[in-house]
Chain A
Amino acid sequence: MTSGTSMVCVLLAGLALTAAPSLPAASVAAGAPAAAFQLPAAVGDPVSLADLKGQVVLINFWASWCGPCRQEMPILEQLYKKYKAAGFTLLGINVEPKSGDAMSFLKATPVSFPILFDTQSKVSTLYEVSGMPSTVIVDRKGNVRYVHHGYKPGDESEYLDQIRSLMRE
């Protein structure tokens, strides 16, 4: 193989791969009812999703080892404080099998919204979590309306728009 052919091969392969569709992120379909669950909370009694019907619920799947998740937490705290009186609630579901690191993180970066522990990954599987962090926004009727994968600074304006539109319903 000459050097010219090698170079062309590598470039073509590179372009082919970047253009190739990656596997579609499997996740819950928008419009479907949000799967019911009950999980232990960091503070107080276990929380069940069914109890929150009538409110707009933002479910955020996070882990202390995930950089973008940690970055997102203060933003979620601001969202929660702003809208909790208006029929909005936020659930931070920690997906780690052991909760030690999550508790250390929360001590350093406390939040006021409920933190739940999905140590058996049951709810993560139910909601087909395919990226970290993952955010699912559920409407007042208990249906999944919006799903987000990952977090980049600026995503919170999208969350705001979506929450506001759901609260107006």
Chain B
Amino acid sequence: MSNMHCCRIATLRLLGAVLLGGLLLGGCTPIQPWVKPYEREHLADPIMSFDRNPISSGYLDHVFEVREGARGATGGVGGGCGCN
């Protein structure tokens, strides 16, 4: 295992930690939400979903992961109508 790969993995993990740190701090800011709930019409549209059909995206992720060395971080949370 070379130093370069160690560095890259450490960098990716650092990114993850920074993400977490940023979120924890973000919870304390006094900024008001800039997109109001009644302005979320486009975001609520199914075509704006990151993952419209989980059964299909799950299958396609599987097709690639089985044939490639990389895996993960395929995403799919959030957005949407923000209702309730």
Contacts and interface: CB of A to CB of B under 8 A. Distances in A.
B83 A131 contact: yes
A16 B25 CA distance: 11
Contacts of A149: 84
Given A1-B13, A13-B24, A20-B24, A68 B38 contact: no
B36 interface: yes
B29 to A, nearest CB: 9
Given A13-B23, A65-B44, A150-B84, A124 B13 contact: no
A132 B81 contact: yes
B15 interface: no
Interface in A126-144: 129-134
Interface of A: 1, 6, 9-10, 13, 16-17, 20-23, 26, 61, 63, 65-69, 95-97, 121, 124-125, 129-134, 149-152
